[in-house]
A and B are shown apart, each in its own frame.
Chain A
Amino acid sequence: DADVTQTPRNRITKTGKRIMLECSQTKGHDRMYWYRQDPGLGLRLIYYSFDVKDINKGEISDGYSVSRQAQAKFSLSLESAIPNQTALYFCATSDHGTSGDGYTFGSGTRLTVV
């Protein structure tokens, strides 16, 4: 099983619908992140959480909300999806260490809003 699991892997939804992307991890990391990737723009941070009671907005949080249900689970919601939220979404976790592979990414969720 993957260390960081994102569900669903692919999703097509209609404009105006509420949708939730889920992320669960078995790394035991405290820190979890949601990024969005658009062509030509790299990955941009939506929200991050350093522990269950700590939620922070990232660079592009408008139109999104998150929930940290447990140390291992971090969900991203689009309250009312719009077409320009069509993107590849990544969940990631990190530890406090200094080894370069301390960051772990999920496989991504490809979301299409029509």
Chain B
Amino acid sequence: AQKITQTQPGMFVQEKEAVTLDCTYDTSDQSYGLFWYKQPSSGEMIFLIYQGSYDEQNATEGRYSLNFQKARKSANLVISASQLGDSAMYFCAMSMNTGFQKLVFGTGTRLLVSP
């Protein structure tokens, strides 16, 4: 069975600094997808970044990058130049294959960005 582990319940970072949110996963599948979502206090799920298991390069989307280490089964999210608006809950998730099926989520990390 697939499993996502986020070991940091909460993280603090100062504005303009970089922060890494940890995510490890467990699967026996060769084909899978890894996602990061942001959930602000309003509750909606906002897609941030995606990495397919066969993608050799780390995904990047603006200030977000995914540090994909396949052998270690980790998919950490790096946010560069944090902004106050980055304060939110962040979820790592995995799909069973890269063609999108049901997602398995981690328990989330709450990020607080201070001025």
Find out whether the CB atom of B106 lies under 8 angstroms from the CB atom of A100: no
- Interface 1/0 per residue, B80-115 and A, CB below 8 Å: 000000000001010000111111111110000000
Query: Does A48 interact with chain B (Cβ within 8 Å)?
Result: yes
**Contact partner of B91 among A40, A43, A97, A102, CB < 8 A?**
A43
Residues of B participating in the A interface, judged by any CB pair closer than 8 Å: 4, 33, 35, 43-45, 47, 49-52, 59, 91, 93, 98-108
Additional A-B contacts beyond A88-B43, A100-B35 (13; CB < 8 A):
A35-B103, A43-B105, A96-B100, A97-B99, A98-B33, A98-B52, A98-B100, A100-B47, A103-B35, A103-B47, A105-B45, A107-B44, A108-B45
Residues of A participating in the B interface, judged by any CB pair closer than 8 Å: 31, 33, 35, 40-45, 48, 58, 88, 90, 92, 94-103, 105, 107-108, 110
